[in-house]
Structure 1
Amino acid sequence: MTEGNFVDYVKVFVTSGNGGKGSSHLHREKYVEKGGPDGGDGGRGGHVIVRGKSNLWTLYHLKFKRHFRAEHGEHGSKSRSTGADGKDEYIDVPLGTVVKDTETGEVLFEITQEGEERIIVEGGMGGRGNWHFRTSTNQTPRYSQPGIPGQETQITLEMKVLADVGLVGFPNAGKSTLLSVITSAKPKIADYEFTTLKPNLGIVEYRDFQSFVMADIPGIIEGAAEGKGLGHYFLRHIERNSTLLFLIPADAKDIVEQYRILLDELKRYNPELLDKNRFIAISKSDLLDEELKAELKQELDKTLNVPYMFISSAANMGITELKDKLWQMLNN
């Protein structure tokens, strides 16, 4: 999937159908000059419904369709015939999509299961025909109810990537390179910051035909929780990952400080993110000789309170051990 086809945020207008009018018909047939009321009810207007589809991965199919309108209910007719209900309008979304009220920002609901259906706006009820209003003192009512109008609103759809492991790190830390080595994904890789502008997903093949999903999240910068850099556009994707893999390059000025900044950004965005499993992979470790690695290890053992490992995507160093560790954490 190309970067331009990855759409994880759209706003759409939704309008439900109007209810059909009730009929005020009076029964007429040969030899029955003045029959009683027999007007039928109007049909219900169509709902607008959000439906979960596991075969969708982005909201790209909604990029060019921003208005969804359900059908109106049919009017009632003679012989107490009820009008047909309006056809419901479905909006198919990938699993992990959050639906919000655009005006208030309130979260309405979340779609997490295949085939799950939730009504956004209900269709208007059909009006009752004059047959319902007959009484002993008013045997031929010549009036009926109009249908109730439908509703309209604007909603925001936000997709959060569903993955087992989320790659977290500063721009140009080597996340895309690791994803390309450890999975069959082909993310864009270049020697400049913010090469990755959209999350990339890859399937990590493990032993005995087992696998897990890894997501390469665009790089975090200090102040991301306040919207700097790519801000909330990528931080929300981390909420779905059960394990966070922090990737910090071996040539960083201060590995512990980088980890602290990354952790602080996650905490400020959503403190619940700190409850997830964490692991640190020190990338580009092929730049270190054994002496430097030993010194660095001695220092990290004193200051870090999370497990870590030295790896190199370019030299394929420690990749198998990293897979083993991640699999163990996911299945603990």
Structure 2
Amino acid sequence: MLQTLPADAAPETTKPPLTLRLCQPRGFCAGVDRAIQIVVLAIKKYGAPVYVRHEIVHNRYVVEGLQNLGAVFIEELDEIPPEHNQSPVVFSAHGVPKSVPADATERNLFYLDATCPLVSKVHKQAIRHYRHGRHVLLIGHAGHPEVIGTMGQLPEGAVTLIETDEDVRRFVPQDPEALGFVTQTTLSVEDTAHILEALQERFPAMQAPAAESICYATTNRQEAVKETAPGVDLYLVVGAPNSSNSRRLVEVAERAGARMSLLVQRASEIPWNDVGDIKTLGLSAGASAPEIIVDEIIDAFKARFEVTVDLAITATETEDFPVMRVLRDVELTKADMAFVNGER
């Protein structure tokens, strides 16, 4: 029997189905988590302001949240007013050249170094090459804070940045038998392997670092994207434009078979008019992106689609990097930890 709807009743609309392939692991890594905790703990222990040299991590949402707590972000130490020279200054997770803590000491500043332990490991590897009489080749991206920090561990001229195949071809060492390499921790595993292969072909005596430079979180997130990207209509990566590891995830998704891959910082940046008719969505987040933004993006799709979430678990991360001893007497409350995890 045909039922006639009242004139003012709109027919029920059915949302189109969407399969969402959600990566795990994704988002905050142990180094990012530690860096954020250091700022929060410093504010709790010493009070505001706490100065932070450079963005503590490359995520505007996190930075704004820390600003609300009392963090003041600066680019150089001379921006700290003289009346605040007893306030703590935190160095970002990306690492800094040796000249920065030396400058802080000269200015009688109290500093807390939030450099990721895995970045510090690369610094030590570069120094070890140098002490063995090797010229250091750093595979990385020019201008990235981590690259600036790593190059700044050694005297000027001791490190050559290798960014492209052309850099490999142009490089002429003083002694081809005395070379060692390290890499930026957030690079694409595949791109790094390609450049490294070209370097090893030209300089077979080049020495490797004592341990892998690309960090576990970068590798894990790229592997998860590789596994979930084939056949995906749209792949979204949550992250900032200046986040190297997030940009690499976009590239990995495209190479692994996603029809389209985009980097977004918030749900408001999703270009709905360009999304079109999609059936499968991939979703991951760079190592400095909080989980709350992933949830925000999932909710935005649920408002438009009948979403089925397929959780793709490719690795389990158990790493935990403790904060420095001077902050361990400060207790993080449940509310503090919620903030550290991006919930506020």
TM-score under structure 1 normalisation?
Answer: 0.24
Larger Rg: 1
User: Relative contact order, CA 8 A, sep 6+: which one is greater?
Assistant: 2
Query: Which structure: greater helix fraction?
Result: 2
